[in-house]
């Protein structure tokens, strides 16, 4: 009897509640603050068509940046650090001499070697900050669109136009480059290769064997523009040992870097990063690399632009407005829409 009475009371209670909610719908919404809040926030948050997601405050917490100065233009360091540090909180700066004002510079160039062996900065990064997932080398006159690199496979090497390595030619992009004229690339490269074929350490790493497989068995030296490269941590130790060998014999970086890459891994494991070299568009000589020409061709889906000289207040201000400030907004909002709206990307 008591059980039947309880069932009747439960049914009556349900009927009363349904009737109240039907006649007074405000009761529903007034007791759901979380739904009201989320609806309100949705109106406050700006929409984002091109979202970029990464955990935490920085996209590259596990990659060490190796930033190299071929010449001691350290007045440019503050604006470059402002740009790079939020992206790569772990970094080293290399250059030809100690900087004034307390900035820590890893000196890698000897007198008269300006611009010839900057890739040694990668080796220093591996030694000074071991155990990271990868090591990313850039020159001080290199602009990167980091949101494109963020999507790449970090277990592979990144290098511009790796298909050119298949040409196996020991000559520069243009023969009037002063660095190529004075570096005696072929002689030094050949000497290193011969020494490595009898070096127990290099034999253990299979360095020359891997290289010959990559170049079709031909005993040649490779060369390519080498102002930017990423080495995954899995190859870091081998790369460090091999690169040091080339540095000891003072092999020019634009031969040493391609040789080292082709000695540590198969060529199919090199990711193509499509960038913009102003030299290939306008020829050699700083007078041909105007900012106007550079910005006209540099769109936000390009990986990098080189060279961009922060040599005066105007170019530094342009770099801040066109690159640094948009990058800071992207980091804050995790949204690429600022590039679509920005007046500096009209050519995109």
DSSP letter for each residue of 175-213: TT-HHHHHH-HHHHHHHHHHHHTT-HHHHHHTHHHHHHH
Instruction: Give a yes or no: residue 104 inside a domain.
Output: yes
Question: Does the predicted model carry a pTM greater than 0.85?
Answer: no
Q: Is the pLDDT of residue 332 over 50?
A: yes
Instruction: Give a yes or no: residue 78 inside a domain.
Output: yes
Give dist(CA 195, CA 245) in Å, integer. Answer: 9
Instruction: Give a yes or no: residue 327 inside a domain.
Output: no
Domain total for the chain?
1
Q: What are phi and psi of 54, to 5 degrees?
A: -150, 150
Instruction: Give a yes or no: residue 148 inside a domain.
Output: yes
Give dist(CA 93, CA 116) in Å, integer. Answer: 16
Give dist(CA 206, CA 266) in Å, integer. Answer: 12
Q: Residue 247 belongs to what domain range?
A: 63-276
Q: State the pLDDT confidence band at 295, using cuts at 50, 70 and 90.
A: confident
Instruction: Give a yes or no: residue 246 inside a domain.
Output: yes
Instruction: Give a yes or no: residue 245 inside a domain.
Output: yes
Q: Is the pLDDT of residue 266 over 90?
A: yes
pLDDT attached to residue 102? 65
Instruction: Give a yes or no: residue 4 inside a domain.
Output: no
Decide the pairing of beta strands 304-306 and 106-107.
unpaired
Instruction: Give a yes or no: residue 77 inside a domain.
Output: yes
Q: What is the CATH number of the domain that holds 215?
A: 3.90.550
pLDDT in tens, 208-234: 999 999 988 888 888 888 999 999 999
Q: Is the pLDDT of residue 127 over 50?
A: yes
């Amino acid at each position: 009897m008591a059980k039947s009475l309880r069932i009747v009371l439960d049914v009556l209670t349900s009927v009363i509640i349904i009737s109240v909610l039907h006649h007074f719908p405000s009761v529903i919404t007034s007791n759901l603050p979380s739904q009201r809040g989320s609806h309100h926030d949705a109106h406050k948050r700006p929409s984002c068509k091109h979202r970029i997601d990464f955990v935490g405050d920085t996209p590259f917490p596990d990659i060490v940046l190796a930033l190299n100065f071929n010449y001691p233009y350290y007045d440019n360091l503050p604006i470059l650090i402002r740009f790079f540090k939020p992206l790569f909180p772990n970094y080293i700066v290399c250059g030809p001499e100690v900087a004034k004002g307390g900035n820590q510079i890893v000196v890698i160039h000897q007198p008269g070697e300006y611009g010839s062996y900057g890739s040694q900065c990668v080796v220093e990064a591996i030694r000074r900050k071991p155990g990271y997932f990868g090591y990313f080398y850039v020159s001080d006159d290199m602009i990167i669109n980091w949101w494109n690199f963020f999507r790449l496979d970090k277990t592979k090497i990144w290098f511009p136009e790796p298909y050119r390595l298949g040409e196996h030619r020991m000559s520069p992009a243009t023969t009037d480059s002063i660095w190529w004229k004075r570096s005696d690339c072929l002689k030094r490269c050949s000497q290193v290769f011969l020494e490595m074929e009898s070096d127990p350490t290099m034999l253990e790493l299979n360095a020359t064997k891997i290289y010959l497989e990559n170049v079709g068995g031909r005993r040649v030296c490779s060369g390519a523009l080498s102002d930017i490269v990423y080495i995954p941590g899995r190859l870091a130790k081998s790369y460090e040992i091999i690169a040091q060998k080339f540095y000891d014999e003072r092999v020019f970086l634009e031969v040493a870097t391609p040789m080292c890459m082709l000695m540590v891994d198969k060529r199919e494991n090199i990711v193509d990063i499509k960038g913009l070299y102003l030299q290939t568009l306008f020829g050699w000589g700083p007078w041909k690399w105007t900012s106007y020409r550079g910005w006209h061709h540099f769109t936000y889906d390009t990986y990098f632009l080189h060279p961009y000289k922060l040599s005066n207040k105007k170019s530094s201000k342009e770099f801040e407005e066109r690159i640094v400030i948009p990058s800071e907004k992207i980091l804050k909002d995790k949204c690429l829409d600022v590039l679509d709206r920005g007046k500096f990307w009209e050519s995109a």
